[in-house]
Amino acid sequence: MAHPKRRQSATRRDKRRTHDKLTPKAVTICSNTGELHLRHKAYVVDGDLYLHGKVAIKDYAPVAAAAPASDEE
């Protein structure tokens, strides 16, 4: 096992730890729908996909949920 020859200073230790702090996600409330959503991301409300406060896709259904799994053997 490796052992340090010299003690690392508190400054060097703290510089390494500066990136360990977690930051909260940027969440906002839509002015049109009143829904909480992540900023700069599309979100679904009542089956419609919204982006930047406007309807991007009407009657939106995710691709993975729309295709039923079938076993063909």
Domain assignment present for residue 12? The answer is no
Residue 56 belongs to a domain: yes
Angle at 48 between CA 43 and CA 53, to 5 degrees: 55
pLDDT-based confidence at residue 9 (cuts at 50, 70, 90)? very high
Q: How many domains does the chain have?
A: 1
In a domain, 16, yes or no: no
Angle CA 53–58–59, to nearest 5: 125
Closest CA to 39 of 49, 50, 28, 31: 28
**Which domain, by its residues, includes 34?**
25-62
CB environment 4-29: b (16+ within 10 A), e (fewer): eeeeeeeeeeeeeeeeeeeeeeeeee
Is 11 among the domain residues? no
The per-residue pLDDT for 18 is 87
Please say if the pLDDT value at position 10 is more than 80: yes
Taking the complete model, does pTM exceed 0.95, yes or no? no
- Residue 62 predicted with pLDDT over 60: yes
Model confidence over 18-61: pLDDT tens digits?
A: 888 888 899 999 888 899 999 999 999 888 999 988 999 999 88
